[in-house]
Chains A and B, each alone.
Chain A
Amino acid sequence: MDDRAWWQLVKDGKDEGWKLVWERVVEPESRSMRSADMMERYSLTAGDLMGMLFDEMIGKRKIDLYRGEGSFEGWLRRYVRGYVLNANPNKHGEVSIERAHPDADGEGEAMSLPTHDKETLRIEAWRMTLYFFRQLWNEDPERCYIHLLKTRFFLTSEEIRDFLDVSSAGNVDQIFSRSVKFMRESWRKWDGVKK
Chain B
Amino acid sequence: MKTPEGKKIAFVFVSHPTKDVSLRWQATVAFPPGATAETPLSITVIDSEGRRIDSAVLVFAGKEMPVVDGAAQMTFGEFVAGKHSVPIWLHRRGMRPVPGVPTFG
A163–B101 CB distance below 8 A: no
Using CB atoms, name the residue of chain B closest to A127: B17
Cβ contact of B11, chosen from A129, A134, A145, A155, cutoff 8 A: A145
Q: Is the CB of A164 within 8 A of B86?
A: no
Q: How far is the CA of A144 from the CA of B84 in the complex (A)?
A: 10
Question: Which residues of chain B come closer than 8 Å to A134, judged between CB atoms?
Answer: 101-102
When each residue 131-157 of chain A gets 1 if its CB lies under 8 Å from chain B and 0 otherwise, what string results? 001100110111011001100110100
The verdict on A2 contacting chain B, using a C-beta distance below 8 Å, is no
A98 at the interface (CB under 8 A from B): no
Residue in A152, A153, A164 whose beta carbon sits within 8 Å of that of B1 in the complex: A164
Chain B: number of interface residues, binned into ranges:
10 to 19
C-beta contact mask, B86-104 vs A, less than 8 Å → 1, else 0?
A: 1000000000000001111
Any A CB within 8 A of the CB of B19: no
Nearest Cβ distance between residue B98 and chain A, in whole angstroms? 14
Within 8 Å CB of B51, what residues of A? none
If A140-B84, A142-B84 touch, whether A162 touches B2 (CB-CB below 8 Å) is yes
- Give the number of residue pairs across the A-B interface with Cβ within 8 Å: 53
A104 part of interface (Cβ distance < 8 Å):
no
A153 touches B103 (CB 8 A): no
For the complex, is B85 an interface residue (Cβ under 8 Å from A)? yes
User: At the interface, yes or no: A165 with Cβ under 8 Å from chain B?
Assistant: yes
Contact B86 A138 (CB under 8 A): yes
Is A130 an interface residue, CB under 8 A from the partner? Answer: yes
Q: Which of B7, B31, B83, B85 has the most CB of A within 10 A?
A: B83
- What B residues does A138 contact at CB under 8 A? 86
Residue on B with the closest CB to A144?
B102
Contact between A165 and B84 (Cβ–Cβ < 8 Å)?
Answer: no
Query: Would B104 and A133 count as touching, CB distance under 8 A?
Result: yes
* Contact string against A for B residues 74-90, beta-carbon threshold 8 Å, 1 for contact and 0 otherwise: 00000010011110000
Min Cβ gap A134→B in Å is: 5
Query: Once the chains bind, are A152 and B104 in contact (CB under 8 Å)?
Result: yes
Q: Is A159 an interface residue (CB 8 A)?
A: yes
**A143 vs B3: C-alpha distance when bound (angstroms):** 17
Cβ contacts A to B, 24 pairs, < 8 Å: A130-B101, A130-B103, A130-B104, A133-B103, A133-B104, A134-B102, A137-B101, A140-B84, A141-B83, A141-B84, A141-B85, A142-B84, A144-B102, A145-B11, A145-B83, A148-B102, A152-B104, A159-B4, A162-B2, A162-B4, A163-B2, A163-B31, A165-B1, A165-B80
